[in-house]
Structure 1
């Protein structure tokens, strides 16, 4: 098994804080998600996360006009210049203070940054400026009395407008202009939220937090800026006694004729007239306020405390979108500020608004709910509607084919995520309390979830409905749930009542109550073997109990543990069980003999950071850490473990050794990431991080945190959570694993092309030798390619073999080579265009070597093959359905046309009606073809 797992995607969280932006083509939305950045492709309906991680959460970002350079700045002022072509960080810069806004100029030559009460203008690297250093500062503007909040460039990138908390907007120019100097616009009575220049004009619209919108008109046209010219120094006249021979004497001028003097005077008059005309054109630039509008009046009818929190403006169509703290947004048309449309998204404030290049799509981000919406305002439809768990994600589970991940959260919701697209497509919100566990059935037809509200709910993932609600005789807080391999029985353990409950899915009846535990039942698991109904449960009473309730009722076998049991999981073959205990150990037991087969001491591998409230060191805190989630790999040889830390460990079960450790986050915005607290922050009164800097929140109310709350402060909604891994699971294909963490759902997958992992390699086996062997002996070439174990080489050999020779080639292939060839064909089926060709290979491979392939050892390959076939089937079925309906429509239109022509031949329809109906029919066909 390979261990070159790399971070591939972030699910479960679509938006946290900061500003969201559209790409120049308008088809993708770039959203900051904590200390990472996600790109949501609206055209192909996929989401991807850049492999870039900051030490703190991103709060400001902007994209260059050509879409190649992304500048992202985190909450500590660390700026990253990211190339979206290579998806790498090219330059870094430290502002050392909070940055409120960043904006590229329309020509792509500069970008401006708002920091404190200053504005910094940098040269953007690229062919426009000839500058390839990252952050080359060009200008700094200091004329503010408070923090700068927003900025905008004029269409020609000559003038920069900057808004501030001092309720003023100031205009600056990069170059020197004869009729323009730094200009200030006043009249607002609250913090400036946004300012926008008009299209091909210097007119400007400014918006403040209390909803005031001011329309300003510029006195000059876009061509009215005059370049600044340095005055020409006058030459000193020489005194008369110093005149030389070449100088002109005054006496000679007097001797000129009268005609020359008159011509000279006329020329002077013409020059004076031209100078006067230039002075008239040389008007100084000033602004006149045309109107003031109160946008908040529309929303304050329902809420008096509503304030404007975000705004965006599309200059070409003159459409203004304003978002408020109540979750409502309004669409206006400027300059009349006439209301076009209004909609309420949620009860949380709108943190960011963006418009795409055409002005049709509006992207809205709500930080409180982690919600991201893309709304098409003309058709009033959602292009994208995604929302993560508003509180921590507590549990996850893969579907049997690895295509879907189900998550449960402390917000009481159950969500289904498509691993390929990265989007949530179903949300179940029937639970009334936090969801503690979720599980998929073996046939992929339904999922079950347990909650602290005392119910286990079963959801049909075909019709997307809650078809069973399983309850207990008396109210019990359920902490865990499991489904057997046949999908007939469901078991759940109680947290306050120390019993295990067993239900039938078909009838919904409670079959058995398994009593015997003397502490909270924290984890249950069914044997994955189809022929077995054995159930294992662990509790805080330091016991592991193995039940066979279907066959023997309440009879069970008890195994004493070294400490409180936290998690139990079965090996894929059902012969072994692994248990994580409170002392940081992982112990394995044989199910039939109840004997211990191995032990792993994992406490030192967990690693532990020091929280801001800890009074002891991280080394001492480590003694209280333990693994809370376990999962076997698909082949059963390795164990994935995670718990109360930022590290995920992979152990070899047989040897009991640590194989690899993954650090899931470096985000210092979370608590307990660092092992040491900076001594500069330690005072005689404690840690300075615990001092709460309260700013006036939106709406004027300051939320005070509740003391002692650690699982998400419902009062303030702004807490510093501790890094923790709540749940882990390997993908059934073995190519990826997922972790439910404080950040969200992290997906780590294998990149087979990056690691050279040969198998039974010989000196004579090289890519050139393999290509040469294709011409001589195809079976030998395939064996050599499998030994080299390069997916690209194996695929090249397969595609050079004729379809007629596939059966003969696989017949001569050895069994051990056929097992490895299965995974390559499964991956090729998912990515290659030669669908029928690889289907022939898969059919002959399973027909010839299927009975000899060991099912358990090659289960990941078989599941990967099933996953690839299912995905291709879904893609092709949509295309085939579309083509079927299209053909039906064309045939129906053709039948109507033939019937109409028959009626024409009989003469039953008059000429005018015939021509009009036929023209209507032609028009309908043309419209259909156009659609």
Structure 2
């Protein structure tokens, strides 16, 4: 039962800025979570930390160790990226639109409202209040939009909505106050401002300011003209302590590292004491009426990248403003653009499309191209070997994801309406999808094409899908005509139409052991059909409320159905008897919508399960619905074992149990009143995600605010992970990366020390059995590797049956991660020889472990086949050379 959050699929990017750390890892916000994609290993991982609302801004330290994540509620998380742990938290007093670490990593500049605050960067030390405010600049007249540090960490240049950019000197000199230099002449708000460095002298000689109306202004530093003098002379009173802890006694002395030979400020204060900035040129990007929405500058290669609200991006060589590339990646607004550390990769994000791209501009090729579903995911399906996950959504698309990497490798977009159901065939190479467009399509996962389409004589809307074990018969239930259609997989012909339901058929599943089809409908019944005999309904199970879904237990000896009153009924499909009932209204209850007139405890809406899923061994069942919770029940005892809260994101509706009365007005909740025009200003209207008009009776979008819910649950055939299609995306929970002390047979003599002593004395059989009794993964693997290849048959035959499942699970993990492939395959072979009869007799009990074992061996075989295929001629040459 020790499932933990592992990854988030289906929504690679949802807004905010995306950054590349350590040259190869792209960090992007996904709602209130953060996803890290390794571009070299082709793997994406979502951090197991959540902000209180959608993340607006992220910033990384120069060494890539620390990450700053700021959400819409101005709450900040300070995260250790390698350890994936939150170190510190802080709440800013205003909206944060810009945040940057200094190049030396000592300070963080944060633009909160009209203020620019300089904070000392926290470290690894445990402190009561790790964030220390060093300085505050209150010179801006409107919200700060961008911040850039100089390479020496002495200056920052700040852009704001007040049509100006300002150059600030960060460090303090006692008794000396520097007035910021103003860069004026802009006609729109400043989107970005950057320093240019002279490569010969390594000194700042240029400043670039980029405005929202698609113009870039280049400013040059002129040392010949004297501009400004030092103001605010130091007070002769009490000595003050500066930020470095040095005492300054007024005019008696100045900081030695800032003083020049002539008594004036040296290099650090030179722009104030000796020269000024002048406008050198003003260039336009010629993209009107589009607005400039994202930009970045790389000082090393002197390149500027800009993104526009019409989906076009441009790459320019500075300071000559030469256009290198001008391309369109979509028709929607580009919300983030940036360089990696080397300047050879560009990252782009489009929040409206959920699109994330990494592009190498020299070779003009994609390093990464990922796009999530535009609307909520409706349905899921695991492949039989648990390596793939298919998702279908309201955006009419079917996507197939590789679970080990978290990447989508194929998208099918032939459907013309929402995809409502998916089913993997037993051969692992064919995927079925049902849609509201009136078609059921079969997809070939080798050639990535739609090779068969099943239709009806008149247009129907399909909401459920099932296929028998042989893959010969395909069935789909309808939303409008209340019928079940039956096709032949080989010919694609319609074989039969099963009539009898008086409501939408939302649940459909074949028995795992025979050809009996179970269907559930809103007409308060579950019907069993003998599809091959074609004699109509075999049996009808009546309910007191609408039946929302139905599932078979993996052994086919039990049937579970969920009803609108929040109950789960368990039936014996052979005798047709009700075995027991779970009352789940209280378990799934929680979360109050903004439009609810009652509290969450007194509300009756949504307190039901819309999706059910048995575990691989059938001992427990997962249930989810229009709630922030997923419930895990023990079937035999009808007991709630655990509740998973899918999100803590306050940007979604239905997360809070109690609404804040301070935010209630005469016109309704304050959160539902949109009194600003910021989204239209940026050229993007608010996106309505969520329900698309079908589902539970009376379910409607809540004023454009996404409602937290779980639409589909599926457990992997291996039983070690499950996936949930939620408003936040597809959440994957797994037990693979977790540890729990759960010994199988523990007594006073079973200790890690005893295992070590047995290994040292050469008692390998005893050591392995002790480690299996202790049930600690590291010791089990240590004992497996301690066995010489010649002794494997003897040790394998001595393993008792009750420890067999745990040992197979360890083998499955080692085959995937261990480099000693031949050694592990020898273990697998000897285990099958020694315990083949026991495994065959207890295949139902060992099924999850055997599925994991098969998945690991299949994946290794595929990797080796691809490697050998790509190096076929090299291998032939080596073999011929050895023969000669």
TM-score (norm 1): 0.86
| Deviation per residue, 1:808-867 (Å, 9 max, x gap) | 222233222333322221122112222111111111111221222211111111110011
Does structure 2 retain, via aligned residues, the 8 Å contact 1:57–1:667? yes
Query: Which moves more between the two structures, 691-700 or 549-558?
Result: 691-700
d(CA) in 2 for partners of 1:348, 1:707: 16
- Which secondary structure does the structure 1 equivalent of 2:452 belong to? strand
Q: Which residue of 2 aligns with 1:811?
A: 797
Aligned pair 1:325/2:328, yes or no? no
**1:288: how far off?**
0.4
Q: Which runs of 5+ in 2 are unaligned?
A: 237-260, 695-700
Moved more, 829-838 or 649-658: 829-838
Change (3 A) 1:769 1:211: same
Does residue 160 of the first structure (1) align with residue 148 of the second (2)? no
The corresponding residue for 1:746 is 731
Cα offset, 1:410, TM superposition: 0.4
Shift of 1:309: 0.6
Q: Classify 1:232/1:526 alpha carbon distance in 2 versus 1 (closer, same or farther; 3 Å).
A: closer
CA–CA separation in structure 2 for the residues paired with 1:596 and 1:554: 22
Match of 2:292 in 1: 308
Aligned length: 839
SS of structure 1 residue aligned to 2:122: coil
CA distance in 2, matches of 1:275, 1:90: 44
1:893 offset after TM fit, Å? 13
CA contact (8 A) 1:528 1:573 kept: yes
Within the alignment, does 1:768 sit opposite 2:771 as a pair?
no
Q: Aligned partners of 1:872, 1:753: CA distance in 2, in Å?
A: 23
Distance 1:51 1:707 in 2: 24
Q: How far did 1:336 drift?
A: 1.5
Deviations 1:269-312 (CA, angstroms, capped at 9, x unpaired): xxxx98999999995331100000111x1x34xxxx31111011
For 1:196-223, what per-residue CA distance to the aligned partner results, in whole angstroms no more than 9, with x for missing partners?
10134141000000001100001249xx
Q: Given the alignment of the two structures, is residue 384 of structure 1 paired with residue 368 of structure 2, yes or no? A: yes
Map residues 364-513 of structure 1 onto 2, 5 A cutoff: 364-513=348-497
Cα distance in 1 for partners of 2:570, 2:178 equals: 79
* Aligned-residue CA RMSD (Å): 3.0
CA contact (8 A) 1:413 1:431 kept: yes
1:76–1:96 Cα contact (<8 Å) kept? no
Q: Is the 8 A contact 2:386 2:717 kept in 1?
A: yes
Residue matched to 1:731: 716
Q: Distance in 1 between matches of 2:823 and 2:368?
A: 36
The residue that corresponds to 2:248 in the other structure is none
Cα distance in 2, alignment partners of residues 330 and 681 from structure 1: 43
Note if contact 1:528-1:570 (Cα within 8 Å) is conserved in structure 2: yes
Within the candidate set 840, 843, 851, 1:855 is matched to 843
Output the CA distance in 2 between the equivalents of 1:332 and 1:880.
43
Cα distance, 1:139 vs structure 2: 0.5
> Structure 1 stretch 785-794 or stretch 449-458: which is displaced more?
785-794
Q: Is the 8 A contact 1:219 1:288 kept in 2?
A: yes
SS of the aligned residue for 2:872 comes to helix
SS of equivalent to 1:822: helix
Q: Tell whether 2:596 aligns with 1:576.
A: no
Distance 1:456 1:708 in 2: 23
1:181 matched to 2:179: yes
**Alpha carbons 2:218, 2:282 under 8 Å: kept:** yes
- Structure 1 residues 623 and 427, CA gap change in structure 2 (3 angstroms): closer
1:210 to 207, 210, 213: 213
Q: CA shift at 1:720, angstroms?
A: 1.6
Within the candidate set 49, 57, 62, 2:46 is matched to 49
Query: Alpha-carbon deviation of 1:599?
Result: 1.0
Instruction: Please tell me whether the aligned partners of residues 368 and 717 of structure 1 are also in contact (alpha carbons under 8 angstroms).
Output: no
Corresponding residue of 1:198: 196
Tell me the residue number matched to 1:285: 275
Does the alignment pair 1:108 with 2:105? yes
Partner in structure 2 of residue 719 of structure 1: 704
Given the alignment, which residue of 488, 502, 511 partners 1:527? 511
Q: What are the Cα deviations for residues 306-347 of structure 1, in whole angstroms up to 9, with x where unaligned?
A: 111101111111111110001110111111111111111111
Q: 1:821 to 1:395 in 2, by over 3 A?
A: same
Equivalent position of 1:909 in the other structure: none
Write out aligned runs for 1:488-887 (5 A). Answer: 488-529=472-513, 532-622=514-604, 624-697=606-679, 703=685, 719-751=704-736, 754-774=739-759, 775=761, 777-853=763-839, 854-887=842-875
Q: What secondary structure is seen at the aligned counterpart in 1 of 2:554?
A: coil
**In 2, Cα distance between equivalents of 1:709 and 1:841:** 51
Q: From the superposition, tell whether residues 467 and 87 of structure 1 become closer, same or farther in structure 2 (CA, over 3 Å).
A: same
Query: What is the aligned partner in structure 2 of residue 138 from structure 1?
Result: 134
CA–CA distance in 1 between the matches of 2:321 and 2:2?
Answer: 56
Distance 1:684 1:707, change over 3 A: farther
Cα displacement (A) at 1:442: 1.4
Query: How far apart are the structure 1 equivalents of 2:607 and 2:328?
Result: 44
* Higher Cα Rg, which structure: 1
Instruction: Name the residue aligned to 1:172.
Output: 168
In proportion to residue count, which structure has more helix? 1
**Whole-Å separation in 1 of the counterparts to 2:38 and 2:673:** 41
Contact preservation (8 Å) 1:318, 1:333: yes
Classify 1:41/1:776 alpha carbon distance in 2 versus 1 (closer, same or farther; 3 Å).
closer
Q: Secondary structure at the match of 2:806?
A: helix
Change (3 A) 1:805 1:331: same
**Partners of 2:27 and 2:271 in 1: CA distance:** 45
Q: Which moved more, 1:623-632 or 1:668-677?
A: 623-632
For residue 697 of structure 1, report the CA deviation from its aligned partner.
3.5
**Cα drift, residue 708 of structure 1:** 13
- The one-character-per-residue Cα deviations of 1:215-260 (angstroms, maximum 9, x if unpaired) are 0001249xx9999998899xxxxxxxxxxxxxxxxxxxxxxxxxxx
Counterpart position of 2:239: none
Partners in 2 of 1:589 and 1:846 — Cα distance? 36
Q: Is the 8 A contact 2:606 2:627 kept in 1?
A: no
CA distance in 2, matches of 1:325, 1:705: 15
Residue 533 of structure 2: SS of its match in structure 1?
helix
Separation of aligned partners in 2, 1:420 and 1:605: 32
Match of 2:14 in 1: 16
Match of 1:261 in 2: none
Aligned partners of 1:736 and 1:747 also within 8 Å: yes
TM-aligned CA distance change 1:308 to 1:865, over 3 Å: same
Query: Which residue of the other structure, out of 85, 93, 96, is the alignment partner of 1:96?
Result: 93
CA contact (8 A) 1:58 1:73 kept: yes
**Superposition deviation, residue 751 in structure 1:** 4.4
Residue 144 of structure 2 corresponds to residue 148 of structure 1: yes
2:35 alignment partner in structure 1: 38
Change (3 A) 1:781 1:735: same
Report the Cα distance in structure 2 between the residues aligned to 1:707 and 1:356, rounded to whole angstroms.
32
Once the two structures are superposed, residues 363-401 of structure 1 have per-residue CA deviations (whole angstroms, 9 ceiling, x without a partner) of 000000110000111111110000000001111111111
TM-score of the pair, normalised by structure 2? 0.90
Question: Any idea what the Cα deviations from partners look like across 1:29-61, whole Å, max 9, x if unmatched?
Answer: 000111000100000000111111111011011
Please say if residues 124 and 131 of structure 1, whose CA atoms lie closer than 8 Å, have aligned partners that are also in contact.
no
Answer yes or no: is the 8 Å Cα contact 1:542–1:564 preserved in 2: yes
Contact 2:229/2:273 (8 A) holds in 1 = no
8 Å contact 1:412–1:434 — kept in the other structure? yes
2:245: which partner in 1? none
Residue equivalent to 1:251: none
Q: CA deviation at 1:707?
A: 14
